[in-house]
Amino acid sequence: MGRRTIHVMPAQAGIQEMVIAIVKTKQFFVYILASKKNGTVYVGVTSDLIKRVWEHKNGLVDGFTNQYDVKMLVYYEMHDNAENAIRREKQIKKWRRQWKVNLIEKKNLHWKDLYKDIC
């Protein structure tokens, strides 16, 4: 959270200082990682996309992504709350593989690793 000072000139008063706290709303992400173009894919959810993908890339997440070397961020979408993000993650996980491929290629035709774009 940041703070900034705004100077306000109300009628019939001198300059007053108002301090307004800028509230940063938490955002949630559904993301898809891949081992390579048309390779193994993984769908996840997080509130800190940069940190989570970094953890996957550096082998700090035990399990599926580490076992199958799934480290390329090929798709992500943002949500305003955890419930919607989790619902969407579960929805995508149930999809057929081709539907996931279509989702990725709609925004990232060449399966470029998007990690550098978000840092």
The CATH code of the domain that includes 90 is 3.40.1440
Q: CB neighbours of 5 closer than 8 A, spacing ≥ 6?
A: 17, 18, 19
In this predicted structure, the answer to whether residue 13 has a pLDDT above a threshold of 70 is no
**Is 36 inside a domain boundary?**
yes
Torsion region of 115: left, alpha or beta (phi above 0 gives left; psi -120 to 50 gives alpha)? alpha
Domain count, the chain: 1
pLDDT digits (tens, 9 = 90+) for 74-101: 999 999 999 999 999 999 999 999 999 9
**Is 96 inside a domain boundary?**
yes
Domain of 37, in residue numbers: 28-118
In this predicted structure, the answer to whether residue 14 has a pLDDT above a threshold of 60 is no
**Distances in whole angstroms, Cα of residue 41 to Cα of each of 18, 26, 32:** 50, 26, 7
Residue of 49, 41, 95, 30 whose CA lies nearest to 69:
41
Alpha-carbon distance 72 to 55, whole Å? 12
**Is 9 inside a domain boundary?**
no
pLDDT digits (tens, 9 = 90+) for 16-35: 554 455 556 799 999 999 99
**Is 105 inside a domain boundary?**
yes
pLDDT at 1 (0 to 100): 41
* Token pair recorded at residue 19: 């301090």
